[in-house]
Amino acid sequence: MRFDVITIFPDFFAGVFEHGIVRRARSEGLVTIEAQDLRAFTRDKHRTVDDRPFGGGEGMVLKPEPLARALASLGIEPRTSSPALAPTARKDGACKAERPEGLSVILLSAQGRPFTQAVARELACLERIVLLCGRYEGVDERISDLYCDMELSIGDYVLSGGELAAAVVIDAVMRLVPGVLGNEASSEFESFGAPDAEIGANRKGLPRSQHGAGGLLDYPHYTRPAEFEGLRVPEVLLNGDHRQIRRWRREQQLRKTLLNRPDLLERAVLSAEDRELLRTIRARQ
């Protein structure tokens, strides 16, 4: 998989991807990450990439011309030259027919679609992703209209620029690429993972002691020593009964999700047993 990042701070990424799983994936040729300096595509002596917004207001907006040239350098052309392209005709989260298969252009923006693990799984099916890092008050909307397949936001807050968001998206997507993780099941049995039914359709011989997250948070993890600062590992994890372990882990997933992210329960895949466990958990609160 290849990631191209268009940014006014290419050096930001110099050290970010030189550690851990990302570094290994790059060295093994599983992932390619290239940062493009937006200022290299300006044509004035000051290398200007921004200007004041039409209609007034605070801040500056990234100009469309340098961004268009940067995208053209990557072989990406606008979908249409018609100025009548309706904003409602794009950014629905799906790649457009005009875009080559396996490629998506994404604008990182506070106004974007929430970036979730489900979106990361969608993007991991692609061969190439181009990320546009917004700055200042944002990017000229015509770039989004003409070039972008979607806008993504990594959270309900505002960053100084899209560079941190780009790093988050790359890390989350890249670890889903086959071969990047030492154990591919690691990306399935974790917070926000696919439900058991979906995992079972793609993998065989699953450990009975695990449980697909089904959109919930992960269960607690413990390792040696069995006792630390007076706290012992739950006995159920030491008895070797995988059925009990599986039930305990699912109960802990539900408990932690109810405490920290109750909104996830509204759209999670819950079995009758899950709903009974939830009733018990709520009764104990």
Q: Report cis status (omega within 30 of 0) of the bond before 83.
A: no
Query: How much is the CA Rg of the chain, to the nearest whole Å?
Result: 23
Domain count, the chain: 2
Asked whether residue 79 falls in the same domain as residue 165, the answer is: yes
| Domain-embedded: residue 181 | no
Backbone angles phi, psi at 27, to 5 degrees: -65, -30
pTM of the complete model: 0.80
Which residue type sits at 131?
A: L
Residues in the chain: 285
What residue numbers bound the domain in which 253 lies?
191-284
More confident residue, 137 or 33: 33
Asked whether residue 207 falls in the same domain as residue 234, the answer is: yes
- Interatomic CA distance for residues 252 and 136, integer angstroms: 42
pLDDT at 269: 85
Tens digit of each residue's pLDDT (9 = 90 or more) over 47-96: 999 999 999 888 999 999 999 999 999 999 998 644 434 443 344 444 34
Asked whether residue 104 falls in the same domain as residue 217, the answer is: no
End residue of a domain, out of 111, 139, 174: 174
Q: Residue 42 pLDDT > 80, yes or no? A: yes
Residue indicated by tokens 């209609």: 55
Residue 11 tokens, joined: 């050096």
| Domain-embedded: residue 180 | no
| Domain-embedded: residue 81 | yes
Asked whether residue 161 falls in the same domain as residue 265, the answer is: no
Q: Which helix (H) or strand (E) holds 24?
A: helix 20-27
Asked whether residue 150 falls in the same domain as residue 197, the answer is: no
| Domain-embedded: residue 198 | yes
- Interatomic CA distance for residues 30 and 8, integer angstroms: 26
Asked whether residue 248 falls in the same domain as residue 136, the answer is: no
Q: Residue 205 pLDDT > 70, yes or no? A: no
> With bands split at pLDDT 50, 70 and 90, how would you rate the model's confidence at 285?
confident
Residue indicated by tokens 């018609």: 82
The rounded mean pLDDT for the chain is: 86
- Judged by phi (left if over 0) then psi (alpha if -120 to 50, else beta), residue 83 lies in alpha
- How many C-beta atoms lie closer than 10 Å to residue 262's C-beta? 9
Q: Residue 261 pLDDT > 50, yes or no? A: yes
Asked whether residue 160 falls in the same domain as residue 41, the answer is: yes
The CA angle 91-95-97, to the nearest 5 degrees, is 115
pLDDT at 31: 97
